[in-house]
Amino acid sequence: MTVTDEYAPARRLKGLLTFPNPVNEYAARSTAGLVVLLTAVTLAVRSPWLLWILAVGFLLRLAAGPRFSPFGQLSVRVIAPRIGPAKLVPGPPKRFAQGIGSVLSVAAAVSYYAWTPTASWVLVALITVAATLESVFGLCLGCIIFGRLQAIGLIPVSVCEACSDIRLRQKVAA
């Protein structure tokens, strides 16, 4: 008699939809650079289909990190290895940042069709600024917001212990 595991498909799906922790900072910054390029082109040509490409990219990275994202794969497999050895940082703040990007990019795509295209371009410009700060300076606005929310107790310490304890962050980097 064979025993079947009725929860196996759910576990496989959960395994596919996991965000890496820790994250290679160079891959995250490379992905942000690719987002800057996409948003710059989107703002230049003002094409609604590019809004959807931007939104889908953020949603894919939010759901599973670089696993299903073309920008994520390019960053992890091609760009980051050429920069140097991985610089590891905690994953939860990066996922939070992808969540903010998802909300802004989906809002940009939806607002374009809600007869407010100007709002779309403003939202894309905000994404461009945030992605530029991450890519060029390593300044992740989503990570800063995550840290502030964790400091005031809105995000539990258990979500990212390395974020609240500097000693754990140093171990992740090692």
> Which residues on adjacent β-strands are paired with residue 23?
89
CB within 8 A of 49, min separation 6: which ones?
none
Mean pLDDT of the chain: 89
User: Are the beta carbons of 22 and 91 closer than 8 angstroms?
Assistant: yes
User: What is the band of 13 on the pLDDT scale with cuts at 50, 70, 90?
Assistant: low
For the entire predicted model, the pTM comes to 0.85
Looking at residue 92, what is its pLDDT?
Answer: 94
pLDDT in tens, 130-155: 999 999 999 999 999 999 999 999 99
pLDDT band for position 78 (50/70/90)? very high
Task: Supply 17's token pair.
Answer: 């939809």
pLDDT reported for residue 1: 47
